């Protein structure tokens, strides 16, 4: 073959033959060449193909943690990107980090320069690749190996070396270890071939997992020195390319002649691409998965998707039940189990027997949970290294049979945590945080559950920062009856010191009882009547009315909660209010699904509110929307009459049907007189309370509704004795107040 052969797409056999003709033959003496060619002329191609097949068999498939079978690497691999700096070496002010919080900090990380990993390898530099556990370092090296073995994007002959395996074989001569990789494929005189491959600089050496070599007895230090000597030897006269991977925090070694780079977290685009690969044969599942993942309530799950390891666990969880919401707490628990135990165990790796490494997973949980709870309580997401070392030493000293605190090296413990599972990571020089805010929240909830701190949690009921901790705590409890009892009492205390709002709750409760609906619908009815009261019937303006939940509705059961529709019905702009495209539908929906009484009451409010709008002096009666509304008002009133008859209130039906409806051209005064007559009908129903709420009361009511909404969300993932009883009691006056 000639030197200018186009190698793109050529199999390894052709590539090696070309390499032999071009580089090996001129490099050795004629006698040895003749002997070598004689030995290999009949089996060289087979040996090369055997090596290629060996590489593809070893590295062409991948089994994600928790899966039951291997999958082709090409089917799952998602482009990996490299940061142009090492995150932990940046300089940040701690106060600035605290102020900007996790989300802003993550956005700053996302703005860093990122380079496609394969493209970076093709540039030919030696790379020392650092990354978190499960960031995809090993998978990336395997992918590069397969690409080179198939002579695709990389035109070098790949040699993949597990540094753990080399160390386990006694740290012998590295070339001898590499030769063994070829001998098992039937290469003739593999030692000569490997030597020339290295001398001529046509090999791609992929050394995986420096962090997996134990530090005990100086083993990692010795291996690192041998590795550097190897690179130095074969870089003097040729340019072999070497890639070395290592976990962050285990990278206390510097390799001369290497660019140090860091594996970047997955972006949203990479998460979507990974999901597309995962669900490639089930597009309907892909659509459901992406829709679930995008939901606001799944922000914590999305945060965990930044590494392939955790993303694969989330995809597996979704595969099981096609939902994320009901299994969120399981996802968090599986993620921690994977990081603390299964990830290393799945690859038969044992970490160093440091003070931290000797702990059981449950003990590690206790230490991390205590630190999470202390820091989260203070609103601290970022900690100085010195402070974190102190906290770790304190916690470790409290364990059974522990050394005194003075004898515990907090820095060693911190480094072990970061290296082994990156639950604590160095965000900037000397500044640490939990790797995910979601995990800090989970550890806090776990601490609350384990240490009986639910009463103190209830003091945080109105602090939105604690929302996820409430949800997780409820899901972690074996039985959450006491949790919800304490939560209900805490919710009651929000309004108990406000007589006006307590009167509102009693009134809504009385109206709900009078509506004669099923018992389980009581909360929905109270919810609906409170909204009606908030509409201020004496001066109702649907263009300004806002539901007290401020965008949060109870959604006790979206299939049968017309109160949800009611919340939106009171939230339109003026044009929609006048167009009245939804009024009768909503009233009938309420009547059919909750109570005929409620449907009728809603309609009374609505016809009176619309008449009040027509009584405005400045209303443009020539505008088409207004004109159409005026002309169709009798139809609206007829709907109220019909609902009155269905409710068995023939007296009110007759009274309404005999009211003199103003003509469309009637004056504002005429419409006001008609609105006043409707007001008297409302009084007959006990609806004309003339509620007037101050801004302070409105704010309190908004907080009250948000707390009830949080209770409902907590209930969705909790184990309780009587779920329906808890729902039925929502929005009721406190015990003894009704």
The residues near 312 (Cβ < 8 Å, ≥ 6 apart) are 64, 65, 66, 67, 278
Q: Write the DSSP string, 630-696.
A: HHTHHHHHHHHHHHHHHTT-HHHHHHHHTS-PPPTT--HHHHHHHHHHHHHHHHHTT--------HH
Strand locations in 15-69 (E): 61-62
Q: Would you state the structure tokens that stand for residue 294, as one six-digit string?
A: 């995008």
More confident residue, 382 or 86: 382
Q: What is the mean pLDDT of residues 100-108?
A: 52
pLDDT score at 160:
92
**Residue 83 in 3-state DSSP?**
strand
> Is the confidence at residue 44, as pLDDT, over 60?
no
Note whether 565 and 586 are within 8 A (CB): yes
Measured from the Cβ of residue 17, the count of other Cβ atoms closer than 10 Å reads: 17
Burial of residue 238, with CB atoms counted within 10 A of its CB: 0-12 exposed, 13-18 middle, 19 or more buried: middle
Q: What is the mean pLDDT of residues 237-243?
A: 84
Measured from the Cβ of residue 650, the count of other Cβ atoms closer than 10 Å reads: 10
Highest mean pLDDT among 174-188, 296-310, 440-454: 440-454
Query: Per-domain residue ranges for the chain?
Result: 12-79+124-244, 268-346, 361-476, 495-723
pLDDT score at 153:
75
Q: pTM (2 decimals)? A: 0.73
The domain 12-79+124-244 is placed in CATH, from the list 3.40.1350, 2.30.31, 1.20.1070, 3.40.50, at 3.40.50
More confident residue, 315 or 104: 315
Q: Can you state the angle between helices 624-631 and 596-614, rounded to 10 degrees? A: 130
**How many angstroms separate the CA atoms of 206 and 183, rounded?**
18
Burial of residue 283, with CB atoms counted within 10 A of its CB: 0-12 exposed, 13-18 middle, 19 or more buried: exposed
pLDDT score at 19:
54
Of 255, 192, 263, the C-alpha closest to 223 is 255
**Residue 246 in 3-state DSSP?**
strand
- Reported as a single tens digit per residue, the pLDDT across 345-397 is 545 455 555 667 778 889 999 999 999 999 999 988 888 999 999 999 999 99
What are the helix (H) ranges across 111-162? 117-122, 137-149
pLDDT score at 156:
86
More confident residue, 245 or 337: 245
């Amino acid at each position: 073959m000639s030197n200018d052969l186009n190698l793109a797409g050529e199999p390894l056999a052709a590539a090696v033959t070309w390499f032999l003709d071009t580089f090996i033959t001129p490099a050795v003496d004629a006698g040895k060449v003749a002997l070598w060619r004689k030995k290999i002329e009949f089996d060289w191609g087979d040996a090369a193909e055997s090596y290629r097949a060996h590489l593809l068999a070893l590295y062409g498939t991948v089994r994600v943690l928790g899966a039951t079978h291997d999958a082709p690497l090409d089917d799952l691999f998602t482009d990996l990107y490299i940061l142009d700096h090492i995150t932990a070496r940046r300089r940040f002010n701690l106060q600035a980090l605290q102020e900007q919080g996790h989300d802003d900090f993550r956005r700053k990380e996302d703005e860093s320069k990122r380079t496609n990993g394969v493209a970076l390898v093709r540039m030919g530099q030696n790379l020392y690749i650092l990354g978190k556990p499960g960031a995809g370092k090993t998978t990336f090296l395997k992918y590069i190996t397969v690409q080179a073995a198939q002579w695709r994007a990389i035109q070098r002959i790949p040699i993949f070396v597990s540094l753990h395996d080399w160390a386990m074989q006694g740290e012998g001569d590295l070339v001898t270890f590499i030769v063994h990789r070829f001998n098992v494929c039937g290469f003739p005189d593999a030692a000569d071939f490997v030597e020339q491959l290295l001398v001529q600089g046509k090999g791609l050496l992929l050394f995986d997992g420096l962090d997996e070599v134990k530090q005990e007895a100086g083993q990692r230090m010795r291996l690192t020195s041998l590795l550097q000597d190897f690179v130095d030897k074969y870089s003097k006269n040729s340019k072999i390319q070497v890639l070395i991977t290592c976990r962050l925090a285990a990278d206390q070694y510097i390799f001369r002649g290497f660019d140090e780079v860091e594996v970047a977290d997955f972006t949203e685009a990479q998460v979507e691409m990974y999901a597309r690969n995962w669900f490639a044969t089930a597009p309907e599942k892909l659509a459901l998965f992406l829709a679930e993942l995008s939901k606001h309530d799944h922000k914590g799950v999305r945060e965990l998707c930044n590494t392939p390891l955790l993303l694969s666990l989330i995809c597996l969880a979704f595969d099981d039940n096609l939902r994320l919401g009901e299994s969120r707490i399981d996802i968090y628990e599986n993620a921690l189990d994977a990081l603390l135990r299964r990830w290393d165990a799945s690859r038969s790796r044992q970490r160093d027997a440091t003070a931290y490494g000797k702990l059981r997973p449950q003990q590690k949980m206790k230490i991390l949970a205590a630190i999470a709870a202390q820091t989260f309580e203070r609103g601290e997401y970022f900690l100085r290294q010195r402070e974190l070392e102190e906290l770790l030493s304190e916690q470790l000293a409290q364990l059974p049979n522990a050394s005194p605190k003075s004898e515990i090296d907090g820095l060693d413990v911190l480094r072990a945590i970061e290296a082994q599972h990156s639950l604590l990571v160095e965000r900037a020089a000397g500044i640490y945080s939990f790797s995910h805010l979601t995990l800090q929240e989970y550890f806090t909830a776990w601490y609350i559950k384990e240490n009986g701190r639910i009463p103190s949690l209830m003091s945080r009921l109105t602090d939105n920062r604690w929302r996820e901790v409430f949800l997780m705590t409820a899901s972690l409890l074996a039985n959450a009856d006491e949790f919800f009892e304490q939560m209900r009492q805490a919710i009651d205390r929000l309004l108990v010191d406000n007589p006006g709002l307590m009167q509102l709750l009693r009134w809504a409760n009385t109206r709900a009882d009078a509506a004669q609906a099923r018992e389980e619908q009581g909360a929905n009815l109270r919810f609906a009547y409170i909204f009606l009261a908030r509409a201020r019937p004496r001066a109702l303006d649907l263009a300004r009315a806002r539901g007290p939940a401020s965008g949060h509705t109870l959604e006790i059961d979206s299939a049968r909660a017309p109160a949800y529709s009611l919340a939106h019905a009171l939230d339109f702009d003026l044009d929609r209010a006048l167009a009245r495209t939804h009024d009768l539908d909503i009233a009938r929906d309420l009547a059919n699904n909750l109570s005929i009484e409620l449907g009728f009451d809603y309609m009374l409010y609505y016809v009176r509110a619309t008449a009040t709008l027509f009584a405005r002096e400045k209303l443009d009666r020539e505008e088409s929307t207004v004109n159409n509304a005026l002309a169709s008002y009798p139809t609206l009133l007829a709907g109220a009459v019909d609902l009155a008859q269905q409710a068995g209130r023939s007296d009110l039906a007759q009274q309404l049907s005999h009211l003199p409806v103003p003509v469309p051209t009637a004056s504002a005064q005429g419409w006001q007189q008609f609105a006043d007559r409707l007001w008297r009908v409302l009084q007959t129903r006990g609806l004309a309370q003339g509620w007037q709420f101050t801004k302070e009361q409105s704010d309190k009511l908004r907080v009250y509704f948000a707390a009830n909404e949080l209770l409902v969300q907590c209930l969705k993932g909790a184990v309780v004795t009587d779920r329906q009883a808890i729902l039925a009691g929502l929005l009721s006056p406190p015990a003894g107040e009704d």
